[in-house]
A = this chain, B = another copy of it.
Amino acid sequence: MSRYMTKQRKAMIGYLSRHADEELSAKQIEAALNGEGISISAVYRNLSDLEQEGKIRRLSKSGSREVFYLYTDAHECKDSLHLSCEKCGKTYHMNVTGAEMLVKSLAANDEFTIDKSSTVLYGVCKACKEKK
């Protein structure tokens, strides 16, 4: 899906990997890269390329009309549920055994099969709780 490594794409990937596990909107990415010069359309196009390559996850925040993007090392994500901090926007990974337990207990009692890739649990992380 992406054959050329243009300087815009390089800048974006650099920025995203420096900010992995944060929920970023297209606008935020464009703004962060205004030094390097990238157009908003290039941001969107690269985001969808990266999404199709599985390097990025696209998610909507409850009640917002902006869509946010999450760049993460894919292998960690496979079997864990995502926890997103409402204060700092950082994403955490629920430990796999915990996730499995939850998924299994639902499958058994409530007969509901959770889709781990599209589920995000919202709350407040330890760091932000202590800050307050």
Tell me whether A112 and B126 are in contact (CB under 8 A): yes
**Given known contacts A111-B125, A111-B126, A126-B111, A120 and B83 CB-to-CB distance under 8 angstroms:** no
Least Cβ–Cβ distance between A59 and chain B, in angstroms: 5
Tell me whether A114 and B123 are in contact (CB under 8 A): yes
What range describes how many residues of A lie at the interface?
Answer: 35 or more
Tell me whether A112 and B98 are in contact (CB under 8 A): no
Interface hub of A67, A112, A120, A122 (most chain B Cβ within 10 A):
A112
A52 interfacial by beta-carbon distance below 8 Å: no
Tell me whether A98 and B121 are in contact (CB under 8 A): no
Tell me whether B113 and A123 are in contact (CB under 8 A): yes
A106 interfacial by beta-carbon distance below 8 Å: yes
Q: Which residues between 91 and 132 of chain A lie within 8 Å of chain B, taking CB atoms?
A: 92, 94-95, 98, 101-102, 105-106, 109-115, 118-126, 129
A-B interface, 4 closest residue pairs, ranked by CB to CB distance from nearest: A60-B60, A111-B126, A114-B123, A118-B122
